[in-house]
Structures are given as structure tokens and as C-alpha cells.
Structure 1
Amino acid sequence: MKKLLTALKRCVVLGAAALAIVSLQPVSAAQAAERVVGGTRAAQGEFPFMVRLSMGCGGALYTQQIVLTAAHCVGSTGPNTGITATAGVVDLQNSSGRVQVRSTYVYRAPGYNGTGKDWALIKLAQPINLPTLKIATTTQYNSGTFTVAGWGANREGGAQQRYLLKANVPFVSDAQCRSYSGYSGLVANEEICAGLPSGGVDTCQGDSGGPMFRRDASNAWIQVGIVSWGIGCARPNAPGVYTEVSTFASAIASAASSL
């Protein structure tokens, strides 16, 4: 999610039981409901690993029974049956092919305090029979052009969307990202920036926890980031900030094996 005045995580609270965990520049994520800005509709089945979470965040199937999302989207580690994962459709109102499964457990990154380490796992009550999204285990793919997708807003301050949107955003180096106003707190080796200098294309509130991905050497999708925060949505010189998945790949694998 992006930072509006002070940095704001990109999730949206959709119910009293849902939690919005703010970053070290905290503003309630409940202030905005948003999605991919400057994007186009994804085709049915184009990104079958995409998951919509009932607290107003996105995610991706790490395994058929575990969703990888952002730490700021969930509460503390432990049993949790209050989250519903929706998958199998790009249109959230389309009941044909839609799969909805409740959570049983949440694992939030150890040491998460709003700065960096913005990843979490949600175990589902039963597997979802859809393709999973593998994650990067090295920095090999942490550059180039990435794809982002989500059901968040299509403009800053906008509303949650019915259809899954997709967009492409280019890599922004740590040095360049830190040079922008509000980004000096970027956590090296834990976060990665992406976006156009001119703005216009970006993730936004409601996209938190969703994947940032690209093609690997075998032309398969591989996840390199998790939507985390930013300044506003699609503003010039204000890229999106994503959890650098490769940094936490071993920890994610270890946590998943214990669930």
C-alpha cells in the first residue's frame, strides 16, 4: 500500500474484526479503499494464483493451502478463523468458478513492527485446487519490469474494485527510491521499489499483500515482491514499495512447513 501524507500501508479494513496494522509513518488504512492505478482488466485465468482476502488485502497461493500476504494485513501469529480467501475469479461478483475458503491460522513475520519484514502466511481450512506462484529465492529477478495485480482502487482515494486489474511497473534502485521525499526510511535488502518517475501506474490501497511478479528464465511467473506501502497512489516521483521476497524466502519456506 502507499503512503498518503504520512506513509500508509495499502490495506483496507472491511469489517470490525479485521485489523489494519500501520507502518512507522502510521495512518489508518481504513481511510482509503483502492486498487491498481493505470491498469487494465486481467483475463479470467490469467493469474490463477491471485487471492482476495476479506479484510481488504490481496495475496497469492504459496501452496494450495497457504496464502502469502503482507504482515500489516493480519494480526499476530496464532489460530485465526476470521479471514475468507476468495480465488478462481477475476470478477468478485461472479459465483461461477469462485472458491471461498476460511482461514485456520495466521503466521506473521517474526519481529514485524511496521518497518520492513512485511510478510505473512495464512493457512486455509482446505486446499484450493489452483496453480501456485513460486517465489524468488535469490536477487536474480529483482530488476527489470514487474507485473502487479489487485482489486484495490484505480485512483488515489478511490473505491475497491469488482474486477482484478493488472499493470506493469519498472524497477527503481534503492538509491533512486531513497532520493524521493518520504522514502528515506526504505529498508535496504528488505524492500524493493518499482514505479514510473512520471507516476500514473501503481498499486494502491486495497492491493496490500498482493504479489509483484515477473517471468523467470523458464518464462514462468515468479514472485519478487509483496505490496507494502508508498506515498499516495501513482504520484510522480513516488514509487510503490514492496517486500523483497528473496530476502525472506528461507524464512517463508520454514514457516510454511510448520503450518
Structure 2
Amino acid sequence: MGHPAVSPSGAERLCPAGRSPQPPTRGSQLKLISALKRCVAAGAVILAAVSLQPTSASAAAPPVVGGTRAAQGEFPFMVRLSMGCGGALYAKDIVLTAAHCVSGSGNNTGITATAGVVDLNSSSAIKVRSTKVLQAPGYNGTGKDWALIKLAQPINLPTLKIAETTAYNSGTFTVAGWGAAREGGAQQRYLLKAQVPFVPDSTCRQAYDELVPSEEICAGYNEGGVDTCQGDSGGPMFRKDNAGVWTQVGIVSWGYGCARAGYPGVYTEVSTFAAAIKSAAANL
């Protein structure tokens, strides 16, 4: 998953704002990811996106690689945020997104949530302004990458329930977003979707020394080719529970590049923070 800084109000992988640095390679440059994530504190915006890029530079690069366009109404809980991040309807008037997508907690009327469409240019799009933001308490750029955005009015669409235990932190997940279809590419007009398999912490730590296993969950193919990327940060990673209901297990957070072999996407582990999210939402 790639991450670019977009504006002082959001953040995921671009730093400084407006620039999308090349992700670090393993070795001494690994520590650069901390600096990138901490750019949020400096007012940068880190964003991640559903990356559907080819596995090699010589591969063809059609508009969507590794994923497909979502159908209208397929994921009605998906939300696009004006700072360039994704999110999901936790409640009809609350969006769950990534902490690095916002600049802190408090009253905030500067974010617009777009919902109800797969085509962001559709005249049917529902657009609602924010009123408040709550960034995860204690967030400092490492772990705890979640935030809630209160909306000025409810959006009458289905919400996405969150995982409250680790029971669904395995198998194959779905990711969706309007982010770049290739590393360094432009964000998309249409909602894209893809599936990514769970990656054990032990395997993920071989790629990322700074992984926080108790707070983060990894997913992706070892050979690369499918991932989240610039512009998908804050969006949900989800799967169906035993009753067939979509359940959010992750929040797009960070990673090296987009769909690179050996570098899975890193997601906030929602079940770890479920109680805190529920409490915060009740008091937002």
C-alpha cells in the first residue's frame, strides 16, 4: 500500500504534503517509515490506496491491475473523504478512518464525506460535512491508527460492523477504495475492489521491523501484484463473519510502495481497538 501526503488535515504516505516519496527498501532505510508516519505530526497527510499494480515494471498497466471495479451498491458503507482518504460508515453519522488521515481531535467542519456511489462524479453522490473529529488517544505515528469523524447529518446507508474479537483475523479479506491503481499513480474516479490473504505476524515482521503485532495486521500476496496504495488510507479491510455479514477487521494504514513482492499491506487491527472505538463513538 502506498501512502502520500496530501494536506495538513490528513495523512498516510506522502511527505511533505503534495509529494509521494519512494518507499524505503529493507536495511538501514527501514527506519525511514517511522519518519514518514510521523510526518503527520508535522502537518503532512499520509494516504493509502487499493493498489492494483503489475508485479513487474514490464507488465502491462491498464486502468485496473489486480482488482476490479466495484458494482453500485456492492459496498454501501464505503466513504470517500475530501482530504484524500477512505473510510467506512461505523454509524450513520460516524465514519471510521485512519488517525494519520486527520490532524487531531476537536471541532472540524472542513471535511466532506462522499457516500452512496462508486463513481465519485455521479450526481447521486451523498455529500455531508463533518462536525467533529476524534483521533485515537495517544496516536504518535506508530500503531493506534484509527479515528472517528462525526457527520453533520446521518447518511441513510448500511453501516459496517467492526470485529470485536480476533476470530476473523484470518483467511481472505476484501479491500476497496478510490486510491491509485499503481504506485505513484493518480487516485481513481471509480471504486475498486480486490482480495488479499492474511499474512502472519512472523512473516510480516521479516519485511517490517517496526510492525506492532498487537495493534496491526498484515495482508497481501508474497509475489505482490495486489495491494492498497496512495489514496486508500483509512479505508476498511473486511470479510464476512459466520452469519455472512461484512465485518471490518482492518483499516488501511501503511506499507512499502504498492503491491511490491515481499511487502504486504499493513492495517490497523480493528479488534484490538473495538472497545475504545465503541466508547469514543458513544461520546462523540
What is the TM-score with the length of structure 1 in the denominator?
Answer: 0.91
Q: In the alignment, residue 112 of structure 1 is paired with which amino acid?
A: Y
Distance in 2, matches of 1:57 and 1:11, equals 10
Identity of matched residues, %:
72
SS of the residue aligned with 2:254? strand
Distance in 1, matches of 2:48 and 2:277, equals 28
CA drift at 1:124: 0.2
- Look up the match of 1:5: none
Distance in 1, matches of 2:259 and 2:108, equals 34
- Look up the match of 2:80: 52
Distance in 2, matches of 1:119 and 1:196, equals 24
**Aligned alpha-carbon RMSD (Å):** 1.8
Alignment CA distance shift 1:160-1:79 (3 Å): same
Equivalences for residues 102-121 of structure 1 within 5 A: 102-121=129-148
Q: Retained in 1: the 8 A contact 2:12–2:47?
A: no
Distance in 2, matches of 1:223 and 1:255, equals 17
- Look up the match of 1:127: 154
Equivalences for residues 31-110 of structure 1 within 5 A: 35-37=50-52, 38-96=66-124, 98-110=125-137
TM-superposition CA deviations, 1:25-62 (whole Å, max 9, x none): 31767698854312100000000000000000000000
Which range is displaced more, 31-40 or 142-151?
A: 31-40
Alignment CA distance shift 1:145-1:90 (3 Å): same
TM-superposition CA deviations, 1:126-182 (whole Å, max 9, x none): 0000000000000000000000000000000100100000000000000000012xx
SS of the residue aligned with 1:179? helix
CA drift at 1:24: 1.9
Match of 2:231 among 206, 214, 221: 206
What is the TM-score with the length of structure 2 in the denominator?
Answer: 0.83
Match of 2:196 among 165, 169, 184: 169
Q: Retained in 1: the 8 A contact 2:4–2:46?
A: no
Q: How many residues align?
A: 247
Distance in 2, matches of 1:31 and 1:117, equals 15
Q: Which consecutive residues of structure 2, in runs of 5 or more, have no partner in the other structure?
A: 14-32, 53-65
Match of 1:155 among 177, 182, 191: 182
Q: Which consecutive residues of structure 1, in runs of 5 or more, have no partner in the other structure?
A: 3-9
Equivalences for residues 217-232 of structure 1 within 5 A: 217-232=242-257
SS of the residue aligned with 2:198? strand
SS of the residue aligned with 1:205? coil
Distance in 1, matches of 2:73 and 2:169, equals 25
